[in-house]
Each structure stands twice: as structure tokens, then as C-alpha cells.
Amino acid sequence: MNILVIGGAGYIGSCTSKALARAGHSVTVYDNLSTGHRDLVKWGPLFEGDILDGDALRRCLNSVRPDGIIHFAAFSQVGESVQNPGKYIRNNIGGTLNILEAMREANVRNIVVSSSAAVYGIPETMPVTEDMPADPINPYGETKLFMERMLADFARSCGLSWTALRYFNAAGGDPDGETGERHTPETHLIPRALMAADGKLPDFHVMGNDYPTPDGTCIRDYIHVADLADAHIRAVERLLQVEDGHGIAMNLGTGTGLSVMEILNAIERVTERPLNYTMGPRRAGDPPSLVADASRALEILGWKPEHSGVEEIIRDAWNWYGLEQA
């Protein structure tokens, strides 16, 4: 297939681009490089553009004529979305609308969209299934849910075929060390903890130890980025086999929750280094626990995580961190 990866210069986008190329597909990356990185575009050409630029999107689609699109180009920081909701509404909703309008004009029918467990808010029971109510508690989750609703609207109006993949916590790095997590500033738990283990982050804080969980810290379902990439390939390949107008949301996770303290203990084991940290206040917009039921992805895509053991995740992230520091 000929696949356009929007946001393909970022963390999950670059890993997915590599996996697509290895599976024999042709890849073009569309990215404005505001948070992505030119040197992570290694498996196909880069079309430099912004999703808020509808004319640039139309030129790209008319040039590439993709069989399908994978859309990663959304802002994704929960805390920032609480502080600056307009930024998230403008980019995540407005940018996605531009993509869908450009697809309709170019007669491109297939799209896989990066969604999030944040659409569920604070679920009443665990693990979380796709049939549970979507009730986000932060602007980031609200924008992801609205993106899904736009997909359904366009499916009804112009026969769009879509899949929304609701990630839980993406983690790890490319097992070959060719791409990985690189944010400025870095806000995610595992890379920040690795920086602290390396003595490069003296002010590493655990954000809250008073949650209603066994050790008081947040529980999350961590999924290896290589497993996420595999799910995207399976999803976009499937869209070419279904009828127009089809759409579905699927969870991507392991079904196993790990607390912040369990992650930090695993980091000490893998790196064989002590980890110094302090306890800080909760981060606004964080639910206590999120764990996926991903049985729908297994049933429909034949997908299950193969690389998402906690020590493999941390080992690959640590390897990538070391390569970045070299």
C-alpha cells in the first residue's frame, strides 16, 4: 500500500513508518516538525506541512494519492491541555477537520487515527472496554473524543472507512535503536525517570502518592511502541478490505496495570542504578487508574502485544536514551 503518515516525524509515527516500510508498504511523512524531528524520517520522503494548512494538505494528497492515511498529528499532553485548551481544540479538532476535508476532495477513503484512553475519563470499573461511557475529564481527552465523532460524521456523509486506536500508555523504543521517544520538554514518566537514573534530572518528582491505589500512585497500562506500530499496520491493511462507511474504535493495551512506583522499581532493576525522586502534587486531569481490555483488537485485527513486558519496555527505552546521549 501507499500510506501517508501524518505526524510521522514524531515518536509513534516514526516507529510506525519503519514498521510499514519493513512490511513492504510505501511511506510518505507529512509533518510540520514542530515536535517531530527531521532525522527520524528515514523510511520515506517528507512533505513538510501543517495540518492547520488545508491547502498544503490538499497538495500533499493530490501528489501522493495514498491508499490510506495514519494520523498521529495531535498535541497530547494532559497537563498542558488543562492550562491551554484552545491550543488543543485548534490543532486536534481543527487540524483533523482539515485532514478529513482534504480526504473527501481527493477521494481518499481510509484513515487510522491515534486516539486515547483519555476519552474514558475515570471509568467505574477495570479493565476498560470500548462499550463503557466516554466521559473525558480533561481537554485533551475531549478533543480525542470529538475527533472520533468527526470520523463517524464523515463516514456517514462520504463513505469514509476509519479506525480509531485508543492507546493506553505508549512506552519503550525501537528495538533496533533507530527511533524512539524525544520530546522537548520531556514530560513522560519513563524517559524522565531514565534521565534521573543517569543523573541528568535532579528535580524528578512523582506526581501524587495519594490516589486510591495500593501504593498511592497512578496505575497505567504500558504498551510497547513496537506493538502499537504493529496494530496500526493491521488496522490500515484491514480498511482496504471493508466496505465504505465502516468505522470502529479499539483499545490498545496489555490488560495489566503498573503503578508509578512499580515502574520506578523496574527502572532500578534494568539500569542497575539508584533512582532519586521526591513526591510532588497530583497533575491536573489524571485519573487514578486506566487499564485496557483489548479483546476487540485481538478479535478484529488478530493483534496482541508481543513486546510489552515492563523490563523489555524499559530496556529498549534505556538503549534509545543511551544512543541519544552518545
Name the residues annotated as catalytic.
140
Backbone angles phi, psi at 244, to 5 degrees: -55, 145
Asked if 12 and 72 count as a contact pair (C-beta separation under 8 A), the reply is yes
* Runs of H (alpha helix) within 2-42: 11-22
Q: Residue 34 in contact with residue 76, Cβ under 8 Å? A: no
Taking the C-alpha atoms of residue 301 and residue 3, their distance in angstroms, rounded to an integer, is 18
For every residue of 221-237, DSSP letters joined together read -EEEHHHHHHHHHHHHH
Residues 51 and 6 sit within 8 Å (Cβ to Cβ): yes
Residue 63: other Cβ atoms inside 10 A: 12
Rounded to whole angstroms, how far apart are CA atoms 158 and 100? 10
Strand segments, DSSP code E, in 119-275 are 161-167, 169-171, 205-207, 219-220, 222-224, 247-252, 258-259
77: region left, alpha or beta (phi > 0 left; psi from -120 to 50 alpha): beta
- The phi and psi torsions of 49 (rounded to 5 degrees) equal -170, 165
